[in-house]
């Protein structure tokens, strides 16, 4: 039997937190940010954990936090974009309902949202982004090495998001 927990994930640039807050209010459930929960418990930012201990340690901390949250009920939890890369975390997410934020956005739209974030977690998002608009801007974006890395991750994760979405 599934827990009464909604997990909101989505690709880099998607509004996971915004959608999770909206769903929590709509369903009269408690909102939890998994990243914030980890940061409070650990005392370091997700970025600092990843930089000092590696992404694997972030996944370990996500697993521990998810295990703790599954003891509760009536939650909407915003989770990271990369959580879907860990099979153990995926098995925990499957105990609730998974919603993928901004599934209708193209990779180009997600890229534009991601590069506009104040503190990107991924170094390739910090590369100078093209500012031109229209066909010229689209061509420049396609040639951007950061965008190429973004697309590589998008194409690797998109089938997973499709498979797990409730």
Give the number of domains in the chain: 1
Domain that holds residue 109: 5-164
Dihedral sign computed on CA atoms, order 158, 87, 79, 53: negative
Would you give the end-to-end CA distance of the chain in angstroms? 14
> Residue 34 maps to which CATH number?
3.40.50.300
Nearest to 153 by CA among 97, 107, 121, 100: 107
pLDDT score for 145: 83
Taking a C-beta distance cutoff of 8 angstroms, is the pair 97, 4 a contact? no
Return all residues near 78 (Cβ < 8 A) that are at least 6 apart.
8, 16, 17, 19, 20, 21, 31, 32, 33, 34, 35
- What DSSP element (H or E) covers 9? strand 5-9
Question: Could you read off the pLDDT of 11-58 as tens digits, one per residue?
Answer: 999 999 999 999 999 999 999 999 999 999 999 999 899 999 999 999
């Amino acid at each position: 039997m599934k827990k009464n927990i909604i997990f909101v994930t989505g690709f880099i640039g998607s509004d996971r937190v915004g959608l999770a807050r909206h769903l929590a209010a709509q369903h009269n459930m408690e909102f939890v940010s998994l990243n914030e929960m980890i940061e409070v418990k650990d005392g370091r930012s997700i970025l600092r954990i990843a930089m000092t201990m590696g992404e694997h340690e972030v996944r370990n901390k996500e697993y521990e936090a998810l295990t703790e949250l599954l003891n509760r009920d009536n939650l909407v939890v915003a989770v990271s974009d990369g959580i879907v890369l860990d099979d153990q975390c995926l098995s925990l997410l499957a105990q609730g309902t998974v919603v993928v934020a901004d599934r209708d956005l193209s990779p180009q739209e997600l890229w534009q949202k991601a590069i506009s974030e104040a503190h990107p977690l991924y170094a390739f998002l910090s590369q100078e982004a093209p500012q031109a608009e229209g066909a010229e801007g689209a061509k420049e974006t396609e040639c951007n090495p950061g965008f190429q890395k973004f697309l590589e991750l998008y194409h690797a994760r998109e089938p997973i998001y499709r498979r797990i979405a409730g």
